[in-house]
Structure 1
């Protein structure tokens, strides 16, 4: 059994996903579900870019 990922809380919400553009962790989840179950949409507050996070 694998250990829990510290970036995921018990509800499955990703906290502080790293922005692929600037590296900031000041990000917010915009939509809990993306085009598939393993993708979600996030927004970076530092560089103001949207990005997809793969779970």
Structure 2
């Protein structure tokens, strides 16, 4: 029974953290740098040849 409760807790924790991941909303290039903006407001700067990850 304890293993089942632990498994349920682990699944709930994993599912809830996945909800906090921002989704890629916008990407642009400026001065040989690429920028990725996510739905949670985070903006990441990546190298010019890279592509933006779909989630942050």
Report 1 or 2 for greater relative contact order, CA contacts < 8 Å, sequence distance ≥ 6. 2
Write 1 or 2 for the structure with the bigger share of helix: 2
**Structure with bigger gyration radius:** 2
Normalising to structure 1: TM-score of the pair? 0.31
